[in-house]
Each structure stands twice: as structure tokens, then as C-alpha cells.
Chain A
Amino acid sequence: MVDNLKFLGVVILLAAMAIESLAQVCLKVGAAGGPDILIAPYNQFLKKIALLQRAAVWKILGVFFYGLEIFLWTSVLHLLDVSVAFPMGSLCFVGVALLSKIFLGEVVGPVRAGGVVCIIAGTVLMTL
């Protein structure tokens, strides 16, 4: 039973990290003025949806996903020890790097990727 709750905690944590990364991408699109900042074919696909041309809609989506993430994170902390949840939370840095590369076409080269790896390793060490 306890193991099941822990497993549930890890699943919710992974979902929370994916949603936080998505929230950051939405805020970036909103800050950049709209979906033109996304690379092809994503920007072309989103051009078909009139509502998503407004930057404000992306900002609201970002805040909404952030709110959802805070709610999920609270549940995670009820199910898992902070010493486990906190370092796993740094998976968000991987999520953001991946989504930035895939959807925004940002250059995540060896130096930037190495920086992300160092941050995650450091986060894990901080809780030992």
C-alpha cells in the first residue's frame, strides 16, 4: 500500500514537471508576441487556430499550467519525502531544455546541456 502511494507520488511528480515545462514554453510564446516564435511545422499548425494568435492567451495558459503545477506539487509533497521530491523536481530543467529545442528551435549545444547536467547533479547532492 505504501509502495503504491509512493509510485503515485512519482507519477504525479513527473506530470507536474512536464506541466511546469509546458507552462514555461507558453510564457515564452506569450512574451514573444505569439506562436510565430515556434518553429515549423508547429507554427503553421497553430496558425489555423484563431484564438492562439493572441499573446495574452498564451500568457493566461502559462499561468493556468503554473497553477495546476502548484496544486500537483502540493500533492507530491504529501506523498513523498521532500528529500526525494526536491532533487526530482530539477527534472524540470531537462524538460525546459528539450521543449525549447524541439518547439522553439533554441540551440541547446554541449555547453548549455552540460550546464543543465551540473545543475541536476548539484540539486541531488544538496539533499544528501
Chain B
Amino acid sequence: MEQMEPRQKIPSAVIIGIVLAIVLDTVIQIFWKLAVADIPDSASLITTALTTLTRPYFYLAMLAFAAQLVNWLRVLAQADLSFAQPFTALSYITVLTLSTFTLHEQLSFMRLSGVCLILLGVFLISRTSHDTTGSTAKHEVSGG
């Protein structure tokens, strides 16, 4: 249970990067959905892809995607992959919240339980050390 012992403080750059990643993930999902919203389900895969390319929302999504890549590489330079990546599950919750408000879907008990379980999972992971390999440059300077 080494992970529960007093651990290094999570650097604020990692926290900011993870929060930004969740915001950008949500923005990408919403823009992408808006880009394909009026394409009928019956359209073929190729038609859907080509039509998407003509939508301005698609390019906004791609812009957010590029920003996400730069941001994510910065996060991974300072934290374990198995630490940072599970936090992206929080974007399921932000997307669900936004779509509930805009589509006026009813929140079921099951959905709320699911949200709570995801939050618990992310909380557990946040209690583990953000860098277990000691391989990042930052750790070598301040650690040991």
C-alpha cells in the first residue's frame, strides 16, 4: 500500500493541464456533435465523412484537438500515463451535464450513480503518486 503513504504534492502545472484537458475534451465533443447534427442516420460512412468536412464546426473541433495535443503532451511530460489518463473520464460527466441541460433529458438514478462511481474512481487515482517512475526531469531535480 505504498501509494497511500505521504506522497509528492501534485504540481499545479499538472492539475491545470488536466483541468484544461477535460474542458477541451468537452469542447471537442460538442463541436463535433454540432458538425454532424443535421446529417441523417441513413447516410453512408463516406457521405457522412465528406459532409462533415464542409462544416465549420468540424474545423473548430480540429482546432481544439490540436490545442489538446499540445496540452496533453505537457501533462504527460510530468505525470504517469496511468495517473493522468483516467481523469479524462470526468469529461463524460461534463458532456452528460451539458447535454442534459440543452436536450432537457431527465437524469435517472442509474446515471447519477454512474457519475458518483466515476467521481469515486477519479478520487482514488488522485490519492496515488502522480509520478511513480521517477523518470521525469522535474522529479530528478527535486526528488532523491
Q: Do A and B come from one complex?
A: yes
User: Which residues between 34 and 79 of chain A lie within 8 Å of chain B, taking CB atoms?
Assistant: 36-37, 59, 63, 74-75, 78
Q: Give the contact-size bracket for chain A.
A: 35 or more
Asked whether any CB of chain A lies closer than 8 Å to the CB of B51, the reply is: no
Q: Are B4 and A111 in contact (CB under 8 A)?
A: yes
Q: Which residues in A have their C-beta under 8 angstroms from that of B110?
A: 125-126, 128
A63's contact among B69, B86, B132, B136, by CB below 8 Å, is which?
B69
Q: Are A115 and B124 in contact (CB under 8 A)?
A: yes
Q: By the criterion CB–CB under 8 Å, are A104 and B133 in contact?
A: yes
Known: A27-B72, A32-B136, A122-B119. 8 other contacts (CB 8 A): A27-B73, A31-B77, A96-B82, A100-B81, A104-B80, A122-B114, A124-B114, A126-B115
Q: Which of B76, B80, B108, B133 contacts A27 (CB 8 A)?
A: B76
Q: Given A31-B74, A75-B45, A128-B110, A123–B89 Cβ distance below 8 Å?
A: yes
Instruction: Tally inter-chain residue pairs, CB-CB below 8 A.
Output: 140
Q: With both chains docked as a complex, state the minimum distance between the C-beta of A19 and any C-beta of chain B, in angstroms.
A: 15
Which B residues are within 8 Å of any A CB, using their own CB? 1-4, 45, 48-49, 69, 72-77, 80-83, 85-86, 89, 92, 96, 108, 110-111, 113-125, 127-129, 132-133, 135-136
When each residue 16-37 of chain A gets 1 if its CB lies under 8 Å from chain B and 0 otherwise, what string results?
0000000011011011100011
Interface residues of A (CB under 8 A from B): 24-25, 27-28, 30-32, 36-37, 59, 63, 74-75, 78, 90, 93, 96-97, 99-101, 104-112, 114-128
